Structure formats: structure tokens, C-alpha cells
Structure 1
Amino acid sequence: MATPIVAVVGRPNVGKSTLFNRIAGERISIVEDTPGVTRDRIYTHAEWLGKQFRMIDTGGIEMSDQPMLTQIRQQAQVAIDEADVIVMVVDINSGVTDADEQVARILYRSHKPIVLAVNKVDNQERRAEVYDFYSLGLGEPYPVSSVHGVGLGDLLDAVVKVFPEDSDSVEDHSIRFSLIGRPNVGKSSLVNAMLGENRVIVSDLAGTTRDSINTQFTDKQGRQFTMVDTAGIKKKGKLYENTERYALMRAMRSIDESDVVLVVLNAEEGIRELDKHVAGYAHDAGRGVIIVVNKWDLIKNHNQATMTDFTNLIRSQFQYLSYAPIIFVSAKTKQRLNQLPELIAEVEEHHQRRVKSSVLNDVLVDAQAANPTPLVNGQRLRIYYMTQVATAPPTFVCFVNDPDLMHFSYQRYLENRIRAAFDFTGTPIKVISRKRQ
């Protein structure tokens, strides 16, 4: 069920980031540029031969006051801890270096699948030189050129071939959700309060996310839920960047495993930049989202007016989450906590919702009648047909005369018309343009 994680590692200056960007740029199926969502190039979703995976670029780890060996060990250890498959990158221009051998020894002891990429093989004459890298003991070296995109197909074939098989032998029909947030928002208290409120705990299952537990429970209506634990995202002095990045990687794996993500805010402390950073990953992953404002009991004289003010603040700060419902709770007093399972189930239903093409095209006709398609450089966009091609999140394809004529504003208009016609509260939806064949 978990999305495999591929880590790109190696000593500095072998072209790790170039390889990472080349694979990401060619293989991300849908790229969305949404204002207000902070992105970090340390990770990306990618796809090869229909298999989706998440990639980590460890090239961002730099500790200039540390010796080279310490830096390499830190980088390799991240890969060992987080990845299902490791791509080790070496440079054909340098040959096999002592640092390469150090990395190879560390990775070899990890017992993780390792694929060796020999980078900067920019012409056929140099391919014979890759055989020197057999001495690293990591199996067949794959010659690639990150700059020119040569050899990536063979490399990615080798990567997906060693992906772990799905070990879930029993089909799980429970609703999977996770709670994410920065430290001190009361995530753990909410977890404990929810379990105490629902009382019927089925089991504690060792999750596929490392050092986390997935807890199953049944609510009073008999609905089954699996709560996916997440690692907290911390800020700690000078180690802020690296600490946050890799705690975030663990949280992101939990997000990938979830149907619905609860973004937890601290009512007393208000909204911080890290809150927006964290919430952006749930949106990017296409999960259902609920914004949970915890510790509402600590707000003095809280009433409908203060709730409305806080709601307006959230809407202004999280504009990309305009579809997400907001609920004000208190883990301490159990205020509105009993409403959470119902809301999670409702958002999951919307996340899986499928609309008939005939009904969808009635909405399309009405939308174009109310607001005709735009003229771009003298050409008018023509939308012939719309159909839903996926759920979780709901994804709609418009077949058009020229996708370049679909302006962002008209695409957003169509999304709003779809939302007005069908209840997609809590879930992002995607509208994509394709040229009619």
C-alpha cells in the first residue's frame, strides 16, 4: 500500500541533483503550480512504466564544518533509514574514488536493494569505462547521462524491478487517515482522545512507515478506521534544515498511505509558516484534507464570532485548501471530537466519488453557456467532451482542440462549476486538458 521511496545518494559533485531533476521533470504525470504552497526539491513524486514512487535527493545535505567522511555517512544513513531502493551515483570522469568505496561499504551493509548509476557517460566511446565500477561490489553499473537523459530507461527499469512487493495479504476496507502538524499542536493528545472517545480498539499493527504504529478502531456507527501515525516535524537550531527535511519525509510517507489527512493547528499559538509548509504536502499528494483547530478551549471568550474570525484567517492563509472543511476541537475537553469520525468518513466518500460522463457533460454545456470559452491569439478554445478518469483525488479530462488555449482561469472556473454541481468537500479535484484524437 505504501508508495516506494527511492533515495539518490553519492559523494558531492557526481550529479545527483541533475539526475533527480531529470527523472522528476520527465516522469511527474501532473505538475501543479499553486500560489501559497511551499515546495522543497528534496522530494518528488515520479512514475515509470505505470509504477509510482517517491524520490529523495540527498544532495542537499551540506555541513561544511564536518569532515568529508562524516558528511558521506550522514547522507548514506538517511538513505538506509528512509528508502526502499537506493540509487548510488558515481562520476565516470573521476573513476572509482576512496569516497565512492566508503559510500558503497556503508550501503552494502544496509541490505537494501542498490542500483549503481555511472553518470556523465555522454558518448558511446566511454561506455567501456563503466566496467571499472564493478569493483564497488554493487552489481551491474548502469551508464547514464543526466544532462542528456541517456540511459535513464535502463536505470529506471532496474529500480522498479526491485521495488518491495505489497505485503498486505488481507484486503483492508478501513478508512485510513493521519494527523500532521508541527510540534505542540496537540497531535498526540488528539490521537489519545479519539481512541478514548471511540473506545473500540481492534488492534495495533506495525505499520509500513518506519518507527510508527497504525492503530485500527471502530466508531459507534460501526465504521472501521486506521489511524496512520506520523513523525512530528521539528525545528532544532542549526540542524533545522536537515532535521525538518527527513522528519518530513517520514510524515509524507504517512500522508501517501492515507485517504484523509487531518492538518492540526494550535488555536492558542495561531498560524505559523511551518503550518502552511506542512499542509502543502497533503494538498500536493492529492489526499482529502480536514483542517482541525485544536486547543479551542484555551481561547478566551470563544464564541461564534471568534470562530468566524479564525476561519477567515485560515481561508486567507491557506487559499489552496479552500475545499477543506474546518472544525474547532479540544482534545482536553473532548469538544466536537465526536464529530471527527463522521467528517473523516464524509471526506473519504467525496475523495472516492465518481460522476457519470453524461451528467458531467450537462454541467459542461451549462458552464460554457454561462461563460463562453476564451479567445487566445484569435483562436477559441473548444471543449468537446469531459470525463472522469480517476478518483482519489477525482480527476477530470477535457478533450479540446488545443490544450494550450485552456487558460488557468478558465480551468479554475470549470473546477468551481463541478464543485457547485457535486459535493467534493474536503478533496482536491484536478481538471486536465487533452487534445482530441
Structure 2
Amino acid sequence: MALPIVAIIGRPNVGKSTFVNRLAGDQTAIVHDEPGVTRDRTYRPAFWSDKEFVVVDTGGLVFNDDTEFLPLIRQQAMVALAEACAAIFVVDGQTGPNPADEEVASWLRQQPVPVLLAVNKCESPDHGIIQASEFWELGLGEPYPISAIHGSGTGDLLDELIKHIPEVVETEENTEIKIAIIGRPNVGKSSLLNSFVGEERAIVSPISGTTRDTIDTVIEHEGQTYRLIDTAGIRKKKHIEYGTEFFSINRAFKAIRRADVVLLVLDALDGVTEQDQKLAGRIIDEGRACVIVVNKWDAVEKDSYTIYDYEKSLEARLHFTEWASTIFVSAVTGQRVTKILELVDKAAESHKRRVTTSVVNEVLTDAVSWHSPPTTRGGRQGKIYYGTQVSSQPPTFALFVNEAKRFNDNYRRYIERQFRKQLGFDGTPIRILWRSKKVRDMEVGSVNRATRV
């Protein structure tokens, strides 16, 4: 079901992201008292009355300055407006109209979409009407006094907005796969996103730290829907100061948690760094499926041994993610980019797969017959009574044994290897919980006591 889009437009630091958070009913957009925090266009679901729609937060528009990211921000705002059914122009009621507002208003008057004028920071209802009246001179119709922080005045504005929002035609949907694109700064995450989408969806720049917010983009490929989540580059913790970057990285970690599959993007020229290893560990800790994407492969000088040597290096540096598939791509040329989705499909399927208890125990029986559990110095041998899958995403198994501490790390890794060998689970971590017989009896006993009560 494709929802109508409403673009939120305005110059820097007028409270656009705060207004988006108000409409979306959450605090997803980064809000910080600093111009230029929002750079890409970011999408948030919203509704009012009986209408559902998507609000698009855009970067602050400045038309008379071509420094740094400002031309790219203008491009993003123009793309957002081109796909919108309506726009809300946000201005600052406390400062009053200024030349920058007049430039944006002049541009908006030339656009073929209806534009509503929201005069933000009007916290006092009585004084707000006076503040808003100053903006009639922009020639965009009635100015609505609102407070994005407190929500006052937004109802009248939204009542007018939904008159311009078309009815949504529901269609049968397939289940989307959520993909978070994670990596260090400047490894090519936004370029990879743009290569998937086929347009300049995210701002791409050689300056690290370009992406601030997480950005959701929905694409469809061969009948499957994917939600791509671009994130800010994650630097070492010691280099991060409290502020915009701190919030951006928190958003990136949340993106890992809500993803089905994480693309860990590496820079082929840099190899695997210590920070890459930490990010891989974070993905495992969150229990997410993973595909390792080695980007900028076109920039590597190659001979017949290059890819084999690189794979050995990856295996050595990321040995704890040996279950993850690896693909070598170039986001700039598009080389093998679409093949990433094939690996994503396999990883997502493994991540949510469930195995019957009978199959689990067949695997355990076979594994034990080939390699018996270890025996302690006192002659006591570990015994596995049975196992069962207790959850998916990631696949999690509980093995009930006589005493968990009798099973050393080597044997536990052996059992995990047997699960992967017999059942697959390519692309996803699996978790095995070792439950001692005493713990099992205690758990059963507590259930029985609860039943009697």
C-alpha cells in the first residue's frame, strides 16, 4: 500500500525535524540546536483523522550559498517535493519573515503542489496569531500558528492538509525484508543505497559523516519488497563527542536491532579494521543475520590470487562470522550489487527458519555418535538428553543435559558446527542454550506448583 507523501520544507533551524517527530508520534528524527543537522530526506509514517500518509523531513534550504552540502541538500528537497502530493513550509514565528524565507516561498510558488504555511514556535496562542500574521506577505495563503514542541495549533493545520491527501488504494503486499546498511564512515554505504535504488536517494560525499539520520527506502526486486536502512558511519567510541554524531550512532545501533539482515560494508582498500571487527561483534550480539559486503572492489589492483588472498584475510580477521556470506562489489559501477539481494534472501530465510524437535534430536544423535561428550577427570561424562528450538530470529536451541559445565567450549563449538552442517543456517548466527538437568527439574517443578495454586 503506497501512502501519499507530504514534504516538510523550510530554511535551517526552524524546527522541521521537531515538527516531523510531532506528526510521526515519535522522536526518530534527530533534533539538535545546530543548523544543518538534517541533510538527507527521511521518511516517517503519520496519520490524521482517517488519512494515512508519509512525512518527508528535508534539510534546511539555502539558495544563495553553494558551500559544503547545501547544493546537495537542495537537490534532496527538490526530489522530495517532486514525489509529494502536498508540502508544508515551516517558518520561525519568533524571528519573523526574513530574506531566506522569501526565497524559499518564491520557489514554492512555482511548484505544482499545494503548499501550507506553518508558523512554528508560536507557544502562546494569543501572541501566536500576531506572529503568524506577519507571514501573509509570503504569498502562500493563510499562515497557521503552531508549536511543534507542544503540539498546539497542529490540528487546524492538519485538518486543512488532509483535504489535499488522496484516498489510498489497498493492494496485497508481501512481507518486506528490513536491511540495515552498517559500516565505518566513508566506506560507501550511501553509494550502495543509491546503487540499489537507481537514483541519488542519499547524499554522497567524500567527507565522512555526511549521513546523520537513518534513512528508510523501500524497493522491490523480483516480487520481494526490501526496506533499506542507511545509517551514519560509526567511528571509534573515543572519537565521538556528545551531540549530533552521538545521536546518529545511537540511531545506527537501533537500525541493527530492527533489521532482519545487516549489510556490514567494508572498504576493500582498507581491509578489515579493528572497528569493523567491533561492528561485526555488535551484529552478533544483536542476533541479526549478516552479509559482508566488500565495497570499492573496482579500485583494487588484482591478479589471479587477489580474491583468494583477500578471502583468507577476511577469514582470519572475522573468523567469528564465518557463517556470513561475503560478496565483493563496486557501488559506483554497480558491479554485483543486485546479487547482494540474493544473499539477503538466503540469510533472511535462515534467520526466521524453525526446525522440528524430531529433526533437532536426529542431528544431536548423529553428532554424539561421531564425537562423544567429554568426560571429567572424575570419570563423569556429559550427557545430552534432548534438544528443541525455542525461538527464531535468531534461531535459538535449548539442549537439556545432565550438567552444563561438563561441556567445554570445544565441544559446544563442535555441536554448533554440526547444526550448521546438517541444517544450514547460512547467513545467521545461532544460539545454543545449555540447560542442566537440575535447572530443568526446577523449571518443571515451578510450573507444577503454579498449576496447583
How would you bin the TM-score normalised by the shorter chain?
0.5 to 0.7
Give the CA deviation at 1:217. Answer: 0.9
Q: d(CA) in 2 for partners of 1:277 and 1:248?
A: 14
Q: In the alignment, what sits opposite 1:18?
A: none
Letter in 2 for 1:267: A
For residues 203-238 of structure 1, the C-alpha deviation after alignment (integer angstroms, 9 at most, x for no partner) is xxxxxxx9333111101x1101111232221369x8
Query: Which residue of 2 is the match for residue 331 of structure 1?
Result: 331
1:180 pairs with 2:166: no
* Aligned ranges 1:391-410 → 2 under 5 Å: 391-410=392-411
Letter in 2 for 1:248: I
Cα pair 2:177 2:260 within 8 Å, conserved: yes
1:218 is aligned, of 220, 231, 256, to 220
**8 Å CA contact 1:181, 1:232 repeated in 2:** yes
Residue 359 of structure 2 corresponds to residue 359 of structure 1: yes
User: Which residues of 2 match residues 237-256 of structure 1 at below 5 A?
Assistant: 239-240=239-240, 247-256=248-257
Paired residues for 1:96-245 under 5 Å? 173-196=175-198, 211-219=213-221, 221-234=222-235, 239-240=239-240
CA contact (8 A) 2:179 2:260 kept: yes
TM-score (norm 1): 0.55
Does the Cα contact within 8 Å between 1:234 and 1:247 map onto a contact in 2?
Answer: no
AA at the equivalent of 2:316? S
Report the CA distance shift for 1:327/1:365 in structure 2 as closer, same or farther (over 3 A). Answer: same
Structure 2, unaligned stretches of length 5 or more?
A: 1-32, 34-171, 202-211, 442-453
AA matched with 1:253? K
Structure 2 CA distance, aligned partners of 1:306 and 1:434?
A: 45
Which residue of structure 1 aligns with residue 138 of structure 2?
Answer: none
CA distance in 1 between counterparts of 2:269 and 2:227 reads 29
Q: SS state of the match for residue 384, structure 1?
A: strand
Contact 1:374 1:380 in 2 (8 A): yes
CA deviation string 1:394-418 (max 9, x = no partner): 1111111112222121111100001
Distance in 2 (alpha carbons) for counterparts of 1:280 and 1:399: 27
Q: Aligned residue for 2:284?
A: 283
Q: Structure 1 residues 248, 211: closer, same or farther in 2, change over 3 A?
A: closer
Shift of 1:239: 4.5
Deviation at 1:274, TM superposition (A): 1.4
Distance 1:302 1:214, change over 3 A: farther
| Alignment match, 2:109 | none
Q: Name the SS for the 1:367 alignment partner.
A: helix
Match of 1:273 in 2: 274
RMSD: 2.5
For the 8 Å contact 2:388–2:397, the answer to whether it is kept is: yes
For 1:74-113, list aligned pairs within 5 A: none
Q: Is the 8 A contact 2:290 2:428 kept in 1?
A: yes
Question: What's the counterpart of residue 299 of structure 2?
Answer: 298
Amino acid at match of 1:388: Q
- For the structure 1 residues 280 and 172, does the alpha-carbon distance in structure 2 shift closer, same or farther, using more than 3 Å as the test? farther
1:275 is displaced (CA, Å) by 1.3
AA aligned opposite 1:290: V
Gaps in structure 1 of 5+ consecutive residues? 1-72, 74-169, 200-209
SS in 2 for 1:376: coil
Match status 1:348 vs 2:352? no
Residue 241 of structure 1 deviates from its aligned partner by: 6.4
- Number of residues paired by the alignment? 255
Amino-acid identity (%): 42
Structure 1 residues 184 and 302: alpha-carbon distance in aligned structure 2, compared to 1, 3 A threshold: farther
Give the Cα separation in 1 of the matches to 2:213 and 2:313.
35
Distance in 1, Cα, partners of 2:218 & 2:250: 23
CA deviation digits over 1:65-119, x for unaligned, max 9?
xxxxxxxx9xxxxxxxxxxxxxxxxxxxxxxxxxxxxxxxxxxxxxxxxxxxxxx
Instruction: Give how far 1:383 is off.
Output: 0.5
Q: Match of 1:292, SS?
A: strand
Pairing of 1:381-400 with structure 2 (within 5 A): 381-400=382-401
* Residue 321, structure 1, aligned to residue 321, structure 2: yes
Query: Aligned with 1:393: secondary structure?
Result: coil
Aligned residue number for residue 69 of structure 2:
none
Report the Cα distance in structure 2 between the residues aligned to 1:367 and 1:211, rounded to whole angstroms: 47
The superposition leaves residues 150-179 of structure 1 with CA deviations (integer Å, 9 ceiling, x where unpaired) of xxxxxxxxxxxxxxxxxxxx9982000111
The aligned amino acid for 1:343 is L
Q: Distance in 2 between matches of 1:172 and 1:294?
A: 30
2:231 and 2:255 in contact (8 A); partners too: yes
By how many angstroms is 1:266 displaced? 0.6
List per-residue Cα deviations over 1:342-379 (Å, max 9, x = no partner).
Answer: 11111000111111111111111111111111112422
TM-score (norm 2): 0.53
Kindly provide the amino acid, as one letter, of the partner of residue 318 in structure 1. L
SS in 1 for 2:282: helix
CA deviation vs aligned residue, 1:90-149 (integer Å, no higher than 9, x gap): xxxxxxxxxxxxxxxxxxxxxxxxxxxxxxxxxxxxxxxxxxxxxxxxxxxxxxxxxxxx
Q: How far apart, in 2, do the equivalents of 1:292 and 1:435 lie?
A: 40
- How far apart in 2 are the matches of 1:301 and 1:288? 30
8 Å contact from structure 2 (residues 213, 251) kept in 1: no
> Which has the higher mean CA deviation after the structures are superposed, 383-392 or 272-281?
272-281
